[in-house]
Amino acid sequence: MTTDAPGSVTDWVSTGHLPGEEAVRELVAEAHRRFSPVQDCEVARYIPALAAANPGHFGLCVASTGGLLFEAGESTQPFSIQSLSKPFLFALLCQAIGEDVARARLGVNSTGLPFNSVLAVERSGEGLSNPMVNAGAIAATSLVPGDTAEAKWHFIEEGFSRFAGRQLQVDQAVYASEIASNRRNLGIATLLEEQQRIWFDPDAATDLYTRQCALSVTARDLALMAATLANGGCQPCSGERVIEPLICQHVLAVMVTAGLYETSGDWLYDTGLPGKSGVSGGMITVCPGKGGLATYSPPLDESGNSVRGQLTARFLSERLGLNLFASRPLAPF
């Protein structure tokens, strides 16, 4: 038996296609019908502006790597990206400074702890964390190229917009609201400074992190951003290469470790896919080679993950045949 030379990612990719267009359209509509009535949970309240979200809003969008969109409900309702910014910031950072440097400085292991855990920073060896939780994301923001906050912001805004395929804007009301109630993240940044794990002024890095969390997106935007991660780093509609395929592959691995915070294991068990949630109610799921799913539904579970979003991802992972771990025996036994 011969094998290809190791090291060439293009020879070792996950392949396959989504089912036919009609089937995907029907399943997306079915997921929306099925999970719209779910109501036994609450929207995030710790950022005052998020408490005003409509708990009835439920939008979803599947974007194929070929750029086809399948949508239901409030898929064009704007909301702040929040923690869904983390994988995209990490991807852009790896592309800019090299993933070995990013990994050595930030760490990529699961914390097993809530998204804003101080203990995670203290407990991990040498202050390393994971770019999918706040400490790692604030440290990642501090490493973004640029000598000034404005230069760093330009890098972030421009990079996120390339993922979305359109110019994204900050929701100023959400930004102001979170800045006024941000003491915990400022504390995390101060702790990182003590451990020499932050590479820009801690207050300024926290401000930039907060601003990026307030970027306004829709489920449609996020589905295309997720589909870019499913498509070796190429935006399916603009055709632009946003990040290299190998970086894309590694970002998805890091999403698997901590994308849903302390419930990342349950998520992986249920969906078999990399995913990321945010406290505004957004959620993305990435199926390498096939496409991205994004949902928007503000009511959250106790870990800060959208309840309808998780139900939808699990349902569509099963029905669209997306689970990366699912297989059947080669021969019928």
| Interface with ligand GLU (CB under 6 A) | 82-83, 115-116, 134, 178, 185, 213, 278-279, 304
Residue count (the chain): 333
Answer yes or no: are the C-beta atoms of 287 and 322 closer than 8 Å.
yes
Cβ-closest residue to ligand GLU?
Answer: 83
User: Least distance to ligand GLU from the beta carbon of 117, Å?
Assistant: 11
Which residue from 152, 249, 128 is spatially nearest to 204, judged by alpha carbons?
152
Residue 92's SS3 state is helix
Q: 71 vs 171, which CB is nearer to ligand GLU?
A: 171
User: Least distance to ligand GLU from the beta carbon of 213, Å?
Assistant: 4
Task: Copy the structure tokens of residue 83.
Answer: 């923690």
Q: 157 vs 318, which CB is nearer to ligand GLU?
A: 157
Using CA atoms, how far apart are residues 81 and 189, in angstroms rounded to an integer?
Answer: 21
Q: 213 vs 320, which CB is nearer to ligand GLU?
A: 213
Q: 27 vs 44, which CB is nearer to ligand GLU?
A: 44
User: Least distance to ligand GLU from the beta carbon of 134, Å?
Assistant: 5
**Cβ atoms < 10 Å from Cβ of 317:** 21
Q: 213 vs 223, which CB is nearer to ligand GLU?
A: 213
DSSP-H helix ranges across the chain: 21-35, 85-97, 99-106, 119-123, 134-143, 149-164, 172-179, 183-194, 202-213, 219-230, 245-258, 264-271, 307-319
User: Least distance to ligand GLU from the beta carbon of 279, Å?
Assistant: 4
User: Least distance to ligand GLU from the beta carbon of 240, Å?
Assistant: 26
